[in-house]
């Protein structure tokens, strides 16, 4: 992940989700709707089951939620130097966890803190892979998500309260994240974590 997290402050912050566009491949046809049945009292009023969600759709939704949590936690940690860095373990894993731990600790060591929040102008699910064949070897379910962030309202202050953000800082840009679930077999819903992040060289989105 490129370091857009220091003075330029690009790839991290709090998510204020302005627009979410999430789509994923649906590999399975939905099961048929449960037919209407008679109650023991003889009622013939029909009942129907709610529309089922495919595993891919569920993974995309859960990974998207994890993505927003990731930004929220980072935002809180950068704004409050007294907050516990272990909170990062609830939203990140592997290389991404190491990178953001280093970033936030360096910021704290230098007496810096964040004000304001980052908005998300667009969020797009690019792919869903549910291969859970070998978690120990890294073959785990993943969802690739492109995030367009907007840091127009974000500032970073030094010890004296002066802004250290460059006037040339881009206010919007794209980052591609891989969100993984290393415990998918036991918890396919709640164990999604951001595993990698890579800034993209493409036209920035419009500010929120």
Strands 142-150 and 172-180: antiparallel
Residues 74, 102: Cα–Cα separation, whole Å = 12
**Mean residue pLDDT across the chain:** 80
Residues 10, 148: Cα–Cα separation, whole Å = 10
Question: Lowest-confidence range among 24-38, 111-125, 162-176?
Answer: 24-38
Q: Which has the closest alpha carbon to 97: 200, 10, 178?
A: 178
> Residue 98's pLDDT is what?
97
Residues 172, 74: Cα–Cα separation, whole Å = 18
Tally of residues, the chain: 208
| Residue 13 pLDDT level (bands cut at 50, 70, 90) | very low
At 63, list the tokens: 């990974």
Pair 199, 11: CB distance under 8 Å? yes
Please state whether 138 falls in left (phi above 0), alpha (psi between -120 and 50) or beta. Answer: left
Ranges of H-type helices in 2-152: 55-79, 94-109
> Residue 43's pLDDT is what?
41
Residue 18 has pLDDT above 70, yes or no: no
Q: What pLDDT digit, counting tens, does each position of 39-81 carry?
A: 344 444 445 555 558 999 999 999 999 999 998 999 999 999 9
Quote the pTM value: 0.74
Question: Lowest-confidence range among 30-34, 91-95, 112-116?
Answer: 30-34
Three-state DSSP state, 138: coil
Q: Does domain 16-25+53-200 have CATH number 3.90.550?
A: no
Q: What pLDDT digit, counting tens, does each position of 167-178 carry?
A: 999 999 999 999
């Amino acid at each position: 992940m490129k370091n857009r997290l220091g003075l330029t402050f690009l790839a991290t912050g709090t998510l204020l989700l302005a627009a979410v566009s999430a789509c994923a491949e649906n590999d399975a046809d939905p099961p048929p709707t449960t037919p209407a049945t008679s109650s023991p009292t003889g009622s013939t009023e029909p009942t129907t089951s709610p529309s089922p969600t495919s595993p891919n759709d569920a993974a995309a939704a859960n990974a998207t939620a994890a993505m927003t949590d990731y930004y929220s936690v980072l935002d809180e940690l950068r704004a409050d130097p007294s907050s516990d860095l272990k909170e990062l373990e609830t939203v990140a894993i592997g290389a991404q966890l190491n990178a953001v731990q280093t970033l936030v600790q360096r910021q704290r060591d230098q007496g810096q803190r964040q004000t304001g929040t980052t908005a998300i102008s667009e969020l797009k699910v690019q792919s869903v892979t549910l291969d859970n064949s070998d978690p120990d070897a890294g073959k785990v379910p993943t969802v690739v998500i492109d995030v367009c962030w907007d840091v127009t309202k974000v500032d970073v202050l030094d010890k004296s309260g002066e802004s250290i953000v460059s006037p040339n800082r881009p206010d919007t840009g794209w980052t591609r994240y891989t969100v993984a679930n290393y415990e998918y077999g036991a918890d396919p819903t709640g164990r999604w974590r951001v595993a990698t992040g890579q800034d993209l060289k493409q036209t920035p989105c419009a500010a929120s």
